[in-house]
Structure 1
């Protein structure tokens, strides 16, 4: 009889890191069962759940949104007062209010070339800022500083855009874009270094850098170097035409421009980096288990700095797209919160590149359609935001949909852990 105590086997760092990376890869790509139809695999890759759950999420959001619209419509509320005697009046008023609102939402985002243009214009910076948050999430970091990085990218791209003149567009525009990516990458690199060298939490440092970027821009707009001498308000000199993103041939009357291609190319590069490269493997491994990654010879500090710098560069693309593509000048507050919206986009996309792109397009459609809903139906902007939030909540929370409709969770799909808890 062996009286020796049971000693747990020693940790195997190589096995730990391989298992962690495999779990991360499976959850990041949201794999459906191998025998699943192509439609289910495609939807799973984008939403991280099954076709049925995705459809029910939209239906649930639409139904709750319809209730909100109904009970905020004056005609429906008036008919509700005598609903027991004439229920048809209430149903007619409610149906009309819901139809008008949703019709405006859909046609305002997808109803024609102009509407599609505005959807893509809204989605372009959201995809970029979503990637700015999603990439650090893979390394276990929460980049709250996308807003400041957008400002830094737009500022540096704009300075190069108006400072140089007489340059051909094939040189000036790429130079301005690279300046935007570089300036924002530096803004992301700094909190990465602070995290790696001193342990300073990236949430704190990036929040502080948001304020730093905004206040620095406000100050610079008051200087003679940047401020437009013909204006009394804080607006920069105009961006040279050679540094502006051109619009698509035949679509010159619409605002959509080549910056959407830049962002899609960056998304493809991000996908390759995270899913096919050694650097991406290290980021995923560090995010899953930094102790095992260190034991396997990887450097968590290096991964942290790289993830934050790349995330910053992605946000810089959003700033460059706004300044060089849409606004044509630097103004105070030009970012308009798109960096913070990027957090929602990244979390809605569950930290995957494909999911983030899809979430950015959805969010852009909701923004574009929301403006049309407000203009055409008189729906208040606050109510539009509530309806948008309902749609996002149900899509982002498949577990809630499963619970409501009592759907089994075992559908062969992974569940992504998109971020670590505070202090992890």
Structure 2
């Protein structure tokens, strides 16, 4: 047996040619059905009927107007943040700092809500708050973008560490300059003048995010900047050979990403929380990574993924109340679903090649 054959692995992976979209979506749908079947196991262990449990999840997220509104409110920041990080991921710039960029944007918006709520007209105040949030969030994101472009730092660690700095700043504000009653470690609720108005009983954050869906789709698919992002994602060397300023494009893309995250922070403090806390992002920045990947960085596909995750989160809490299912079981079911949805992409994009008999006999 030759030395080359000895080195040949029993199983090796190879990238597939582009799969027919219908077949790919059939695999994705099948993975969801498979996940639902697997999810029956932990529910059965608790002594509950899986079908009843799934019905309760749907009832708790979509069954009543109030539940439906709460589900939409959960989906809004998820979708907005996924839109924000999509251009970065398209460029292979691993922005794990959305949590901090949302928080930074929330700080910018909160400053004007706290100090100018009674001296500015309602609409003007909201515009200024959103602009400040976008600016601060963009600047916060540009910092790791600049260091990556200038010094080739590790963007994953850099953006991740900046999350904790932003959260720490809010924690300091809570117990310092912006604290309400001394000793409470809390920032008071904003003046009503700083609240986002509602449409159909939900704050207009959902309208802002849907507008962002369209803008991000156009940006990534029909603009020169979006084309440059795609080229860098495919090959940095090709981009440089084509005369693109890779460093500037990285910084610019992070500015856009951070600005959108900042707008999400504005929506959270003005539309949902009516104040700011150190956990204003509440893990949205990390969950949105799953939304972006499951949506294949497609702005419109992310709408559906955000809704699915919001339904699971809202429905799981209701499941715990109605059937007494431990929260851990709800999280296991959600984890199984996400695992299968992500795992099916392997079968869409790769194939396993087993070592042939000819290779063994050679």
Do these two structures clear the TM 0.5 threshold for a shared fold by scoring above it? yes
**Match 2:225 to one of 279, 297, 304:** 279
**Match 2:138 to one of 178, 181, 185:** 185
2:164 alignment partner in structure 1: 211
Asked if residue 303 in structure 1 is aligned to residue 249 in structure 2, the reply is yes
How far, CA to CA, are the matches of 1:362 and 1:110 in structure 2? 11
Change (3 A) 1:168 1:303: same
5+ long unaligned stretches in structure 1: 1-25, 33-39, 74-95, 407-424
Listed one character per residue, the Cα deviations across residues 199-250 of structure 1 (whole Å, up to 9, x for unaligned) are 11111111110111111111122223x122x35322223322222111225x
SS in 1 for 2:96: coil
1:195 alignment partner in structure 2: 148
How far, CA to CA, are the matches of 1:297 and 1:358 in structure 2? 38
* Bigger relative CO (Cα 8 Å, ≥ 6 apart): 2
5+ long unaligned stretches in structure 2: 1-16, 352-362
Q: Which structure has the larger Rg?
A: 1
Shift of the alpha carbon at 1:100? 2.5
Shift of the alpha carbon at 1:279? 0.5
How far, CA to CA, are the matches of 2:266 and 2:184 in structure 1? 22
Change (3 A) 1:330 1:357: same
Does the 8 Å contact 1:139/1:303 carry over to 2? no
**Match 2:121 to one of 168, 188, 194:** 168
1:53 alignment partner in structure 2: 27
Shift of the alpha carbon at 1:303? 1.5
Listed one character per residue, the Cα deviations across residues 260-298 of structure 1 (whole Å, up to 9, x for unaligned) are 111111121111000000000001111111111111111
**Match 2:197 to one of 241, 246, 250:** 246
Alignment of 1:9-158 (within 5 A): 32=21, 40=22, 49-50=24-25, 52-73=26-47, 97-158=49-110
TM norm structure 1: 0.74
How far, CA to CA, are the matches of 1:231 and 1:222 in structure 2? 8
How far, CA to CA, are the matches of 2:280 and 2:216 in structure 1? 26
Alignment of 1:229-378 (within 5 A): 230=181, 232-249=183-200, 251=201, 256-378=202-324
Change (3 A) 1:399 1:171: closer
Runs of 4+ in 1 over 4 A off after TM superposition: 399-403
Change (3 A) 1:260 1:231: farther
TM norm structure 2: 0.87
How far, CA to CA, are the matches of 1:231 and 1:169 in structure 2? 29
Coordinate RMSD, CA, aligned:
2.2
Does the 8 Å contact 2:101/2:141 carry over to 1? yes
Change (3 A) 1:231 1:342: farther
Change (3 A) 1:231 1:171: same
Number of equivalent positions: 333
How far, CA to CA, are the matches of 1:346 and 1:172 in structure 2? 31
